[in-house]
Structure 1
Amino acid sequence: MILVGLTGGVATGKSTVAKMFERCGAIVIDADALAHRVVEPGKPAWRAIIKTFGKGVLNPDRTLNRQALGAVVFRNPSKLRRLEQIIHPRVAREQARLTRQAAGNDPKAVVVYDVPLLYEAGIDKRVDRVIVVTADRETQIARLYKRNGFTRAEALRRIRSQMPLKQKTAAADDLLDGTTPRPRLLTLVKRLYHKLHTLA
């Protein structure tokens, strides 16, 4: 089995690449989906978030209001770190469990862990290889505007809250350009998947 970390900057095309790997036969574990799961109402992480940030970050149905929480943490690095300390260890345990399960089902599995903060959270040390999906800054800003309705200032704040893309690309084993036309990008992903499968 091979465990591959898939990362990039915000809105570089990581989710698109993850879906392509899935089409090729990889088992994709989505860190964002796991993060959603660990903060469901009543769970320990949910309780810790309410205790730390107050009930103002809740929706009427007691689920987390991600926009309200985002508005608090992305303006304050120490609050962002505190949120990460609550969520990351729980997500890591869930990822490890799913990876063991995948390896048990198929010893030659290619497991792709789709995780935005791979380097920031030190996850690069727990994976066999790292793929970074890149895009130029203007593309990131345009996608964040289209996808999230962010202003330019909000988009830049979100981009700058992450480790610079230059540093991520310098540390990567493989690079994919998220602005590549989709048919060509799928070809590149297929090629990379076959290489990873051979390594597994």
Structure 2
Amino acid sequence: MILVGLTGGVATGKSTVARMFEQCGAVVISADVLAREVVRPRASAWREIVAEFGRSILKSDHTIDRKGLGDIVFRNPRKRRKLERIVHPRVARLQASMTRQAAKHNRHAVVVYEVPLLFEAGVDRRVDRIVVVTAPRSTQIARLKTRDGLPRSESLRRIDSQFSMDRKVARADAVLNGAAPLPALRAQVRKLYRQLLGLA
């Protein structure tokens, strides 16, 4: 089995690449999906987050308003670190359990762990290979405006809250162009998947 960390900047195309890996046959685990799981209402992480940030960050169904919470933590690095200390260890345990299950099912599995904060959270130390998805800053800003309705200033704040793209690329084993036309990107992913399958 091989565990691949898939990362990149905000809105560079990580989720699109993850779906393409899945179509190739990889087992894909999403850190965002796991994060939503660990903060479900009444879970221990949910209780800690509510205690730290107040009930104003809850929706009417008691789920966490991710956009509202994001607006808070992306403006305050101290609060962002506090949130990460609550969520990241729980996500890591869940990911490790899912990876073990994938390996038990297929000892030659290619497991792709899609995690935006791979370097920032130290996940890079737990994976066998690192794939970074890149896109020009202008593309990131345009996608954040279209996808999340964010103004340029807020988009830049979120982009700059992560490691720079140059820093990520320098530590990558493979780099994919998330701004490429979809057929070209799919071809990049298929080629890389075959290489990873050989290593697995």
Structure 1 length-normalised TM: 0.99
- Superposed displacement of residue 68, structure 1: 1.4
Match of 1:70 in 2: 70
- Superposed displacement of residue 112, structure 1: 0.1
Return structure 1 stretches of 4+ with deviation > 2 angstroms: none
Partners of 1:44 and 1:188 lie apart in 2 by 41
Partners of 1:71 and 1:20 lie apart in 2 by 30
1:126 aligns with 2:131: no
Q: Secondary structure at the match of 1:4?
A: strand
Partners of 2:65 and 2:155 lie apart in 1 by 19
Q: Secondary structure at the match of 1:63?
A: coil
RMSD: 0.5
- Superposed displacement of residue 169, structure 1: 0.4
Q: Which residue identity does 1:50 align to in structure 2?
A: V
Q: Which residue identity does 1:111 align to in structure 2?
A: V
Instruction: Summarize the alignment of residues 52-91 of structure 1 with structure 2, pairs less than 5 Å apart.
Output: 52-91=52-91
Instruction: Summarize the alignment of residues 22-61 of structure 1 with structure 2, pairs less than 5 Å apart.
Output: 22-61=22-61
- Superposed displacement of residue 72, structure 1: 1.0
- Superposed displacement of residue 92, structure 1: 0.1
Instruction: Summarize the alignment of residues 99-178 of structure 1 with structure 2, pairs less than 5 Å apart.
Output: 99-178=99-178
Partners of 1:150 and 1:16 lie apart in 2 by 20
Q: Which residue identity does 2:16 align to in structure 1?
A: T
1:190 aligns with 2:164: no
Q: Which residue identity does 1:167 align to in structure 2?
A: R
Q: Which residue identity does 1:171 align to in structure 2?
A: R
Partners of 1:70 and 1:13 lie apart in 2 by 20
Q: How many residues align?
A: 200
Partners of 1:50 and 1:184 lie apart in 2 by 44
Partners of 1:96 and 1:29 lie apart in 2 by 10
**1:36-70 deviation per Cα after TM superposition (whole angstroms, max 9, x unaligned):** 00000000000000010111110111110112111
Structure 2 length-normalised TM: 0.99
Unmatched 5+ residue regions in structure 2? Answer: none
Q: Which residue identity does 1:115 align to in structure 2?
A: V
Partners of 1:86 and 1:184 lie apart in 2 by 39
Unmatched 5+ residue regions in structure 1? Answer: none
Partners of 2:88 and 2:108 lie apart in 1 by 27
Partners of 1:85 and 1:146 lie apart in 2 by 30
